[in-house]
Amino acid sequence: MAVIGLKTVDCARLPLYDCKLFSRTFLLPASARPNVSRVVKLPPPLVSVRNFKVCASASAVEDGSSEADTVPIPKVIIDQDSDPDATIVEITFGDRLGALLDTMNALKTLGLNVVKANVCLDSSGKHNTFAITKISTGRKIKDVELLEAIRLTILNNLIEYHPESSSYLALGAEFGVESPEKQVDVDIATHVTVFDDGPDRSLLVVEAADRPGLLVDIVKSITDISIAVESGEFDTEGLIAKAKFHVSYRDKAIIKPLQLVLANSLRYFLRRPNTEDGSF
């Protein structure tokens, strides 16, 4: 048996993951220590997702319940910058997530392969990280519609296996057991900034109220004015979406006048997410 966080678990039932943070030493508070006061040091196991085994029942594969009363903010990060060969997906929901085997299986139904999985612990909770590729090509995902499908699949699984997360997600209004108590004011939540990022590209930073299809809509709005999206990161933090895109115009950084056009175009679009084309 080992003590992890504030829970006592059976070591034989834990999956193995590649994560350097597991070699850290954790000193538990007095209220959570066993009868013998000691420092618990977790060993640094190392294993590939292709060969690790999870000793858990089918009904509990997504289980990672916490005794904390406060529901943490769910976060999903889709990172296209960190790895040249794979799309990196990170999921955080306090310490409530388990092995997420059902989420990995759901990603496989999209034609994806999970080539590596890590779990890291820090003060914000447990971070489940997947490196995924397209089965057909063996490379990272570049199709923005497929990237949005990945994001929505993960969020749907969060709501299914952790219903308490639905009140903190935009999808909870349609698919969750409990809709968000507060609606985000799109005018206040929307922020768009463009920075110089070298001679060949610029950095576009966007923050807006989340909704299904948002990633596709943002990229379409960018490409509609002939600006290319090279790579980036798209984060879902509760009801808010945050994105960073490396963009260019004709393989060069975006000049100031075009930066202004891009920023104003996105602000207008994001502050009116329900505007129909026929209303113009």
DSSP string, 58-117: GGGTT------SSPPPPEEEEESSS-SSSEEEEEEBTB-----HHHHHHHHTTTEEEEEE
Question: 3-state DSSP call for residue 39?
Answer: coil
- In which element (H, E) is residue 40 found? strand 40-41
Q: What is the mean pLDDT of residues 158-164?
A: 92
At 221 the pLDDT is 95
Cβ atoms of 125 and 95 closer than 8 Å? yes
pLDDT in tens, 58-83: 333 444 444 457 899 999 999 999 99
Q: How far, CA to CA in Å, does 278 sit from each of 151, 186, 274? A: 29, 21, 12
The domain ranges of the chain are 72-175, 191-270
At 274 the pLDDT is 57
CATH value of 191-270 in 3.30.70.260, 3.40.50.720, 3.40.50.2000, 3.40.50.2300: 3.30.70.260
At 246 the pLDDT is 97
Q: What is the mean pLDDT of residues 26-43?
A: 39
Say which residues have a Cβ less than 8 Å from residue 194's Cβ, sequence separation at least 6.
Answer: 202, 203, 204, 205, 247, 254, 259, 262, 263
As a whole number of angstroms, the distance between CA 270 and CA 273 comes to 5
Residue with tokens 């980036």: 232
The CA R_g of the chain, rounded to the nearest whole Å, is: 21
Give the distance between the most distant pair of CA atoms in the chain.
71
pLDDT in tens, 173-198: 776 667 788 888 988 899 999 999 99
Question: Per the confidence metrics, is the pTM higher than 0.85?
Answer: no
CATH superfamily, region 72-175: ACT domain (3.30.70.260)
Two domains, one topology: 72-175 and 191-270: yes
Neighbours of 277 (CB within 10 A): 5
The more confidently predicted of residues 210 and 59 is 210
Handedness of CA 221, 246, 80, 229 (dihedral sign): positive
Q: How far apart are the first and last CA of the chain?
A: 65
Q: How far, CA to CA in Å, does 218 sit from each of 72, 148, 200, 239? A: 27, 11, 21, 16
